[in-house]
Each structure stands twice: as C-alpha cells, then as structure tokens.
C-alpha cells in the first residue's frame, strides 16, 4: 500500500480494510479517501510529480469539515511499458473519480504536474457533457506560454525561477525540513 493510504487512514480499522480488500484500491490508479464524508461536492486532487498526495495534507485540514476530498495517487508503472502521458492519466483518473461520483458537478485540482492532469481531466469531462464547477491549478507551469517569447524574456524567467527554488530549498534546509530532497 502507498504511504498516502497509510497517512490518510484515520484508524487502524480503515487501514486494515484497505490492506484486506480484494478490490482495485490496491492497484493503480489509486483513489485515496483523504476525507471521504461531507455534504459538499467532493474535491478530487491529482498527485504532483512525486506521485503521492501527501502535499495536500495541509490544504485538506484547512477546508471546511463538510468538504469531502479524494486524492489521486500515481499508478505504479515501474518496469512497465504502459503509456504514462497526461492524456492517459486523465483518462484513468476520470474513470476512478466516476466510481465515487458518477455524474457532475466535478471539482478537480492539481499541484504542479497534477495541475496539467487536472486540466485534461476537466476537458474530458466537459467534452462528455459533464459539469465541472472547479478546476484548481496550483504552481503549474505551461511551457507553451514561453514559446513565442523572446530569448531575453525566457532567460529572465529562468533566472527568477531558479533563484526562487534555491531560496525555497535554503529556507527548508534552515528549518530542518528535508522532505522532497531524496
């Protein structure tokens, strides 16, 4: 089972249910119930480039208690020849969220790489005639935006981006936060 599953299982009984299950919760793709109950439309959050949904723990804690939240953890493609494009992940994840919510409105979000997948999921759902009430994209870079910019503009962006990343890593190291450095 994934670290995300362990982190969001609220009780030993919930964790035992996942471990003992024969259903597809133990196979990829993974729909992680981060907060499975509530009265609002569920929010589905796509993993970032690391493949897990732990980055969303603080976000989930800050949302209203009646907001159901599910994370989509990356499938395990290790040693596989499977297609892992944004489009193929979106297709897999739309199938997963429809197990929880067969019809819209849908709320989807993603951080970094997950934002690209979330946008593609929303596009697919809208094309299928479904309502998408929210697409939340956090810290997602669209490299196509820079294709028509001058070399100077792209260079300025890259310098600023690298400086920001280095400062972020410096602050994390100074605070003793080593997550994400492995």
Mind listing the pLDDT tens digit for each residue in 71-90?
Answer: 998 876 554 455 578 898 99
Q: What is the pTM of this model?
A: 0.66
Q: Which residues are catalytic?
A: 112
- Average pLDDT for 124-133: 96
Task: Give me the helices (H) in the chain, please.
Answer: 3-8, 12-20, 57-62, 86-100, 113-127, 151-174
Residue 28 has pLDDT above 60, yes or no: no
């Amino acid at each position: 089972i994934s670290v995300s599953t362990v982190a969001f299982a609220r009780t030993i009984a919930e964790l035992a249910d996942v471990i003992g299950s024969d259903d597809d919760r133990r196979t990829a793709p993974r729909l992680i119930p981060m907060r499975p109950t509530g009265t609002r439309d569920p929010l589905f959050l796509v993993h970032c480039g690391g493949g897990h949904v732990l980055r969303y723990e603080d976000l989930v804690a800050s949302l209203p208690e009646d907001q159901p939240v599910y994370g989509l953890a990356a499938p395990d493609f290790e040693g596989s020849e499977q297609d892992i494009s944004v489009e193929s992940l979106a297709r897999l994840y739309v199938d997963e969220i429809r197990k929880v919510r067969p019809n819209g409105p849908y709320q989807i979000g993603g951080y970094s790489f997950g934002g690209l997948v979330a946008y593609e999921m929303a596009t697919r759902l809208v094309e299928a005639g479904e309502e998408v009430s929210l697409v939340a994209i956090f810290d997602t870079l669209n490299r196509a935006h820079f294709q028509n910019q001058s070399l100077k503009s792209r260079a300025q962006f890259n310098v600023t981006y690298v400086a920001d990343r280095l400062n972020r890593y410096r602050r994390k190291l100074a605070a003793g936060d080593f997550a994400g450095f492995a």
